Amino acid sequence: MSEANSLIEIPRSDWTKLRDLYVHKVTDPHGFPCLNNFIMWVENDPELKVTFLSLNGDWQKDGTFVLTVDLGTRLKHLYFNTLGDNLDRLTKALECLNSFENKYIFYGFGSRLKPAVEHIGRKYYTKELFMVESIWYSASKELVDSFTIEVPSGITLLNLAPEDAETINEIWPHHAPGSINFVRSLIKNNVHLGAYDDNGKLVAWCLRLPIGSLGLLQVLESHKRLGLGSLLVKSMAKKISAMGDKVLSPVVTENTASRGMFEKIGFRYIGTICWAY
């Protein structure tokens, strides 16, 4: 890392200007939806530990930024992007963070940015970065408008309650120390939906991730094969589309059952995204 380079915090008054540079990047996981998400979160809770950073303070040049988020999980979240023709400035910006080992998760980034992450992995980590790849799906507004919502007998769709975070985190396959704080943040700050039985028990749910997509979709084993997964996807898609946002969803590449469901509904493959830690 060159001593001439450093990360300079972007003033909160400029966050929307940075976001608007990405106004055309509505399907980029670290594009407009992601930046807008954290701007809204901080508006709702000014005490949130969200920091927008740029290389040498020159974010207007090509929109290069690094966003660090501390939600009280074991690993801080890293979001990052550039509008530049190459990844040179983004890579230099990431290098300025230093102290990567056991500190950050590179959260849901587009495959275009993978070389920069791999460079950081080789340079700063003593072990190879563990990387999970997901298929990145999109649903057109026309498709979402065509969805019909038919709720099975004995099931009620409602917004999730804060206390539901315990159940969701416990069953979430990717839960980890402190991850309940992440789930709580999603319930507090983003749209979400749960399916409840006649006894008021939560049996299925879908949330919205910071990158603007559907996420944490889960159906209890006792209520599978009732179509609740596709019901929640369609219902959440309508919620997000009504906000004027693009409907997106990642599905782990190896999860062929979920991929089949999304493709049957009509979602289309538009690329891949990765998580690395």
pLDDT digits (tens, 9 = 90+) for 45-90: 999 999 999 999 999 999 999 999 999 999 999 999 999 999 999 9
At residue 3, the pLDDT reads: 61
Asked whether residue 87 falls in the same domain as residue 176, the answer is no
Domain-located, residue 275: no
Contact 188, 223 (CB under 8 A): no
User: How confident is the model at residue 125, as a pLDDT?
Assistant: 87
φ, ψ of residue 276 in degrees (nearest 5): -140, 140
Of the residues 98, 129, 160, the one at which a domain ends: 129
Asked if 104 and 34 sit in the same domain, the reply is yes
* Domain presence at residue 276: no
pLDDT tens figures, 265-274 = 999 999 999 9
Q: Residue 277: inside a domain, yes or no?
A: no
Long-range contact pairs involving 8-11 (C-beta distance under 8 Å, separation at least 24): 8/53, 8/54, 8/55, 8/56, 8/57, 9/51, 9/52, 9/53, 10/52, 10/53, 10/54, 10/57, 10/59, 10/65
pLDDT lower than 50: segments of the chain = 1-2
Q: How many domains does the chain divide into? A: 2
Residues 13 and 120 in one domain: yes
pLDDT of residue 7: 96
Q: Is residue 154 part of a domain?
A: yes
pTM of the predicted protein model: 0.95
pLDDT of residue 128: 85
CATH of the domain at 82: 3.40.630.30
| 125 and 142 assigned to the same domain | no
In a domain, 201, yes or no: yes
Q: Which domain holds residue 29?
A: 7-129
